[in-house]
């Protein structure tokens, strides 16, 4: 028998979970009709939801033994959710998908067949349009991919998503990357393996609201830069060299000027401009180094990526007693 683990990170998804469960059941049946040697586990990660998500998961786990869940002690973020899902999944294949049906379950049979063909270790979807997304956000996203692919050795594919069907081998490779500052879009590429991209039009969320504000996405983009590129450090270094060269030229000019024309008190404006420019440059470069230092600081603490407060086993136990 082959087992597919479907990992679903959930944060305040009470409205959409029943819809998701209904949809995924249809697809699981469809797959089992074609592949009788396949069974499933549904592994939900409750990422510290403040609504009734956990209660819904408890109910689902009691009724359906394929349903498992891991509930975090607080909100750790989707990255931690995905990591926990992969770590706790028992399947030979692991699928990661959102609860809001933005990752259409109808792709699962195709993804499964793609991986089963033996030609690929991973099947994933790629949005070809950004329909339903604010124009400004799309513009920034495109710029982000352009820049990060210029400055990072790891290819970050535009429109690629966390909706992935992976073999155990690939999942174990991802799990071997224990970094605390996780940027999955980069991690998926970094581990390599043969990946098939299935293109599709963007789908809007079935119910509930997205937790990603513009600011959060901006911070996530910065996370990507700092996690998968050291180019900003090089930039700081290059800026330093350029200002040194400029300073050297200025010193020569000023000395020559003094020797030829004497030393009238002049150049107050130049002086102030130079102080501000160099001061700004210095702060900017220190800031860049600071970012890397902060990341290193967090990594060296070796804090756990997530903490569990409850799993489906607890729920099943209380039912028995
Ligand atoms: N999610 C999570 N933890 C968070 C935020 C989001 O586990 O802190 C989950 C969420 O429940 C959903 C998926 O990550 O299943 C994607 O989130 P969302 O739909 O808000 O993001 P978007 O689709 O807008 O990128
Ligand atoms: Mg969504």
Q: What is the 3-state secondary structure (H, E, C) of the chain?
A: CEEEEEEEEECCCCCCHHHHHHHHHHHHHHHHHHCCCEEEEEEEEECCCCCCHHHHHHHHHHHCCCEEEEEECCCCCHHHHHHHHHHHCCCCEEEECCCCCCCCHHHHHHHHHHHHCCCCCEEEEEECCCCCCCHHHHHHHHHHHHHHHHHCCCCCCCCEEEEEEEEHHHHHHHHCCCCCCCCHHHHHHHCCCCEEEEEECCCCCCCCCCCCCHHHHHHHHHHHHHHHCCHHHHHHHHHHHHHHHHHHHHHHHHHHHHHHHCCCCCCHHHHHHHHHHHHHHHHHHHHHHHHHHHHHHHHHHCCCCCCEEEEHHHHHHHHHC
| Percent of the chain's residues with pLDDT above 70 | 98
Task: Identify whether residues 193 and 237 lie together within a single domain.
Answer: no
- At residue 137, does pLDDT exceed 70? yes
Q: What total number of domains does the chain contain?
A: 2
CB of 48 sitting under 6 A from ligand 1: no
CB of 13 sitting under 6 A from ligand 1: yes
Residue 98: the pLDDT is 93
Taking a 5 Å cut-off on Cβ, the residues next to ion ligand 2 are: 98, 100, 102, 205
Residue 320: the pLDDT is 58
CB of 101 sitting under 6 A from ligand 1: no
Measured from the alpha carbon of residue 212, the closest ligand is 1
Give the residue, by CA position, lying nearest to ligand 1 atom 16.
98
Q: Is the pTM of this model over 0.95?
A: no
CB of 79 sitting under 6 A from ligand 1: no
Higher pLDDT, 127 or 115: 115
Task: Identify whether residues 286 and 153 lie together within a single domain.
Answer: no
Mutate to test the pocket of ligand 1, among 100, 202, 206 (most ligand atoms within 8 A of CB): 100
Task: Identify whether residues 115 and 256 lie together within a single domain.
Answer: no
Distance 8 CA to ligand 2 centre (A): 12
CB of 141 sitting under 6 A from ligand 1: no
CB of 214 sitting under 6 A from ligand 1: no
Across the chain, mean pLDDT equals 88
Task: Identify whether residues 29 and 114 lie together within a single domain.
Answer: yes
Distance 11 CA to ligand 1 centre (A): 6
Give the residue, by CA position, lying nearest to ligand 1 atom 8.
77
Number of the ligand 1 atom closest to the C-alpha atom of 99: 15
Task: Identify whether residues 265 and 168 lie together within a single domain.
Answer: no
Which range marks the domain in which residue 196 is found? 2-229+308-320
CB of 100 sitting under 6 A from ligand 1: yes
CB of 99 sitting under 6 A from ligand 1: yes
Mutate to test the pocket of ligand 1, among 8, 9, 141 (most ligand atoms within 8 A of CB): 9
- At residue 231, does pLDDT exceed 70? yes
| Percent of the chain's residues with pLDDT above 90 | 45
Number of the ligand 1 atom closest to the C-alpha atom of 8: 15
> Of 29, 26, 31, which is closest to residue 115 (Cα–Cα)?
31
Measured from the alpha carbon of residue 83, the closest ligand is 1
Task: Identify whether residues 105 and 243 lie together within a single domain.
Answer: no
Task: Identify whether residues 278 and 188 lie together within a single domain.
Answer: no
Distance 123 CA to ligand 1 centre (A): 20
Give 150-184 pLDDT, tens digit per residue: 888 888 888 888 999 999 999 999 999 989 988 88
Task: Identify whether residues 313 and 295 lie together within a single domain.
Answer: no
Task: Identify whether residues 225 and 253 lie together within a single domain.
Answer: no
Number of the ligand 1 atom closest to the C-alpha atom of 75: 8
26 band by pLDDT with thresholds 50, 70 and 90: very high
Task: Identify whether residues 259 and 221 lie together within a single domain.
Answer: no
Task: Identify whether residues 10 and 116 lie together within a single domain.
Answer: yes
Mutate to test the pocket of ligand 1, among 79, 83, 86, 98 (most ligand atoms within 8 A of CB): 98
Give the residue, by CA position, lying nearest to ligand 1 atom 12.
98
321 band by pLDDT with thresholds 50, 70 and 90: very low
Q: In this structure, what CATH number is given to the domain that contains residue 14?
A: 3.90.550.10
Task: Identify whether residues 173 and 124 lie together within a single domain.
Answer: yes
Residue 319: the pLDDT is 62
């Amino acid at each position: 028998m082959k087992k597919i683990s479907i990992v679903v990170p959930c944060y305040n998804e009470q409205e959409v979970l029943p819809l998701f469960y209904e949809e995924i059941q249809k697809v699981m049946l469809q797959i089992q009709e074609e592949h009788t040697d396949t069974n499933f586990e549904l592994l939900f990660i409750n990422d510290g939801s403040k609504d009734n998500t956990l209660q819904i998961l408890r109910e689902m786990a009691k009724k359906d033994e394929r349903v498992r869940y891991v509930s975090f002690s607080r909100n750790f973020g989707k990255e931690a959710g995905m990591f926990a899902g992969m770590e706790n999944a028992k399947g030979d294949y692991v699928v990661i998908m959102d609860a809001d049906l933005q990752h259409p379950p109808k792709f699962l049979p195709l993804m499964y067949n793609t991986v089963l063909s033996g030609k690929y270790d991973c099947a994933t979807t790629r949005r070809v349009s950004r329909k339903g997304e604010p124009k400004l956000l799309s513009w920034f996203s495109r710029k982000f991919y352009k820049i990060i692919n210029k400055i990072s050795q790891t290819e970050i594919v535009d429109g690629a998503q966390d909706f992935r069907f992976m073999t155990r081998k690939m999942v174990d490779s991802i799990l071997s990357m224990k970094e605390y500052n996780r940027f999955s879009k980069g991690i998926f590429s970094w581990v390599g393996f043969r990946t098939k991209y299935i293109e599709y039009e963007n789908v809007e969320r079935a119910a509930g609201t997205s937790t990603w504000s513009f600011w959060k996405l901006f911070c996530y983009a910065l996370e990507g830069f700092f996690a998968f590129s050291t180019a900003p450090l090089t930039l700081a270094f290059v800026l330093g060299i350029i200002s040194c060269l400029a300073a050297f030229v200025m010193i020569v000019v000023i000395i020559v000027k003094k020797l030829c024309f004497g030393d009238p008190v002049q150049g107050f404006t130049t002086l102030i401009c130079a102080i501000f420019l160099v001061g700004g440059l210095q702060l900017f470069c220190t800031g860049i180094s600071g970012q890397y230092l902060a990341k290193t600081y967090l990594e060296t603490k070796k804090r756990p990526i997530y903490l569990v407060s409850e799993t489906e086993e607890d729920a099943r136990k209380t039912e028995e007693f």
